[in-house]
Amino acid sequence: MTNKKNLVFKMKKLTLLFLLFSIFTFAQKTELKKEVSKITEGKNATVAVSALGIDFPFNYNNENVTKKLPMLSVFKFHIGLAALNLVDEGKLKLNQKFLIRKEDLLPKTHSPFRDKFPEGNVEASLDDLIYYSVSLSDNNTTDILLKIIGGTKVVQKFMNSKKVKDFQIKYNEKQMHQGAEFLYQNFTSVKSLSKLYKNFYNGKILSKKSTDYFYNILLKTTTGANKLVEQLPKNSVAHKTGSSGKDEKGLTIAENDSGIVTLPNGKHYAISVFVIDSKESFETNCKIISDISKSVWDYLNK
């Protein structure tokens, strides 16, 4: 009888502890929601936020989490995944060489590769092309990479096979430079994107070897120093950015950043923050992303 009473007492104690923990967690998450709302309050822009625990339970979404929003260069993450899938299938090799001609290196577009080899007529490995495309966000090498793997339809088909929702890729960089209407046709929701990062890290998209390789490519990203990474410890973020710049009317179609963050305890979370159709300055758009990133980091380190 005593043992039964002890068991009942322990069950009640565990239930009470669980309830207290739930109340505490709810209060904390409410505080995070308030922090994010404060950051976005009064801003003339659509801000979408999704943060998702990768190896621990955590999920934060704001009201724009399922909207289909223009990716800009964030789509280079998806392109890189599709290219490495072909490596996993044995159809391509990372050390495979490709001739890059001068006519492949378009002017008036962000291209560190063209800046280094302005005359072209050089060979570049698939490894080189992925590095320039993703880590340095090179537009020319992205279109070259797309041509090698078979175009945007190959990327779409691969994402469909992995059940990636709310995602569409139709145009390459050259086409996106021809008008704003093309930018909106390459879209994702931030909820879908964060889930993709989680599945990628957990080895559900590529082989272990390709996952490790591509994670390191994302760690080497040089763009967006004033976005997700700005207020976080160095080398804690593996990410891919996107930016449209301003049009003639002062509209920023997209200022984006997304990726995987490593916490001091070794755990990881995916985070995607998109600032869309913004009338704010470049500095304000980036600060929104930076401050939201810091708020999530602080919340998870409490």
Cα distances from 253 to residues 41, 70, 117, 211, in angstroms, run: 19, 8, 31, 31
Cα separation, 45 vs 23, in Å, equals 33
155 Cβ contact list (under 8 Å, min separation 6): 75, 78, 79, 81, 82, 146, 149, 169
Cα angle 108, 111, 113 (rounded to 5 degrees) comes to 135
Active site residue 119: no
Q: Burial, 295: exposed, middle or buried (Cβ in 10 Å; 0-12, 13-18, 19+)?
A: buried
Tell me which amino acid residue 63 is: E
Active site residue 63: no
Given 111, 133, 173, 243, which residue is catalytic?
A: 173
214 DSSP 8-state letter: H
| One-character DSSP codes across 114-144 | HHH-TT--EEEEHHHHHIIIIIS--HHHHHH
Given 73, 210, 272, 290, which residue is catalytic?
A: 73
Cα separation, 186 vs 85, in Å, equals 20
161-170: burial string, b at 16+ Cβ within 10 Å, e else: eeebebbbbe
Catalytic residues, by residue number, are 73, 173
